[in-house]
């Protein structure tokens, strides 16, 4: 049996401001840092010890990982930063307030943009300064690999190669792994691992900064999964994420 830990980053400044974030590189709030520390405490108490860590190239996930590993006194753990674990690109919605967008376009439309499998928000214009073409962290990528918007299906299409080429072989080699990533890049991975349908994925939300343990069989199929920590607080946090896209 293998075990892997997934974690969404702690609260970011744009989670607090309730703005669509995507590939915008915002930092953690103080609460987000505290969530990452608490995650480290829980993981330490549960006896976790890691050989390898994965994260995205966005600082909210990177700092969450550093803070969690620091709390565990495991900052020596090698870290692989992989752009394919980035948050789903939110296109032209990036920067807009979610509740205001729902007031303007309706809760249903915002739910489609946030959670549907295959409807992307409108793309950024290629000439938009928010496009990532000139960002040095993506310098090794072909232009067509750099999104201007994504639906979850697009995110699955880039996250799965990271799982298949890099993460899954490391698990099979016996590495104890933690992945610090984002709400929608983790939804993409969980959809694949748990075989969740395109319709049912709409109802899956991931709370900030809570370690999610997956136990996997020899074929890397999930045996069970569970969040560490206070289960009622986790349920409340899940409902809060779902409600962020409502006008009231």
Q: Check whether 8 is labelled as a binding-site residue.
A: yes
Q: Which of these is catalytic: 35, 45, 71, 87?
A: 87
Candidates 40, 120, 183, 229; binder of ligand 2PG (CB under 6 A) is 183
87 annotated among ligand-binding-site residues? yes
Binding range to ligand 2PG, per CB under 6 A, among 19-27, 118-126, 171-179, 225-233: 19-27
Least distance in angstroms from the C-beta of 117 to ligand 2PG: 13
**Is 182 among the catalytic positions?**
no
Q: Which listed residue (20, 54, 117, 214) binds ligand 2PG by CB under 6 A?
A: 20
Residues in region 89-108 near ligand 2PG by CB under 6 A:
90, 98
Is residue 227 at the binding interface for ligand 2PG, with CB under 6 A as the rule?
Answer: no
Q: Is 14 within any annotated ligand binding site?
A: yes
Q: Is 15 an interacting residue with respect to ligand 2PG (CB under 6 A)? A: yes
Out of 37, 114, 158, 191, the only residue in the binding site for ligand 2PG (CB under 6 A) is: 114
User: Quick one: 34 or 96, whose CB is closer to ligand 2PG?
Assistant: 96
Which of 11, 35, 82, 87 touches ligand 2PG by CB under 6 A?
A: 87
- Judged by beta carbon, residue 74 or residue 86, the one nearer ligand 2PG is 86
211 lies in the site for ligand 2PG, by CB under 6 A: no
- List of residues 6+ apart from 189 with CB closer than 8 A: 6, 159, 160, 163, 179, 181
CA dihedral over 92, 130, 245, 212, signed as positive or negative: positive
Beta carbon of residue 1, minimum distance to ligand 2PG (angstroms, whole number): 31
Q: Are 166 and 86 in contact (CB under 8 A)?
A: no
Long-range pairs, 120-129, Cβ under 8 A, ≥24 = 120/91, 120/149, 120/150, 120/151, 120/154, 121/20, 121/90, 121/91, 121/92, 121/93, 121/149, 122/91, 122/92, 122/93, 122/149, 123/91, 123/92, 123/148, 123/149, 124/91, 124/92, 124/94, 124/148, 124/149
- For the annotated binding site, the residues are 8-15, 21-22, 60, 87-90, 98, 114-115, 183-184
Active site residues: 9, 87
Binding site for ligand 2PG (CB under 6 A): 15, 20-22, 87, 90, 98, 114, 183-184, 241, 244-245
């Amino acid at each position: 049996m293998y075990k892997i830990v997934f974690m969404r980053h702690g609260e970011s400044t744009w989670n607090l401001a309730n703005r669509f974030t995507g590939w915008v590189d915002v930092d953690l709030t103080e609460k987000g840092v505290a969530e990452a520390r608490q995650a480290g405490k829980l993981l330490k108490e549960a006896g976790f010890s890691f050989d390898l860590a994965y994260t995205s190239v966005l600082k909210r996930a990177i700092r969450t990982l550093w803070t969690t590993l620091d709390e565990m006194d495991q900052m020596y753990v090698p870290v692989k930063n992989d752009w394919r674990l980035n948050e789903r690109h939110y296109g032209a919605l990036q920067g807009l307030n979610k509740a205001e967008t729902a007031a303007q376009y309706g809760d249903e439309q915002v739910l489609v943009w946030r959670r549907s499998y295959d409807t992307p928000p409108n793309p950024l214009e290629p000439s938009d300064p928010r496009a990532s073409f000139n960002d040095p962290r993506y310098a090794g990528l072909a232009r067509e690999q750099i999104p201007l918007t994504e639906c979850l299906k697009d995110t699955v299409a880039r996250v799965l190669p990271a799982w298949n080429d890099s993460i899954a072989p490391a698990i099979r080699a016996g590495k104890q792994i933690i992945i610090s990533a984002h709400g929608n890049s983790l939804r993409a991975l969980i959809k694949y691992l748990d075989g969740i349908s395109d319709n049912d994925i709409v109802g899956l939300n991931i709370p900030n900064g809570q370690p999610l343990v997956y136990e996997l069989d020899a074929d890397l199929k999930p045996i069970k999964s569970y969040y560490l920590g206070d289960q009622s607080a986790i349920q409340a946090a899940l409902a809060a994420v779902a409600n962020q896209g409502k006008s009231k």
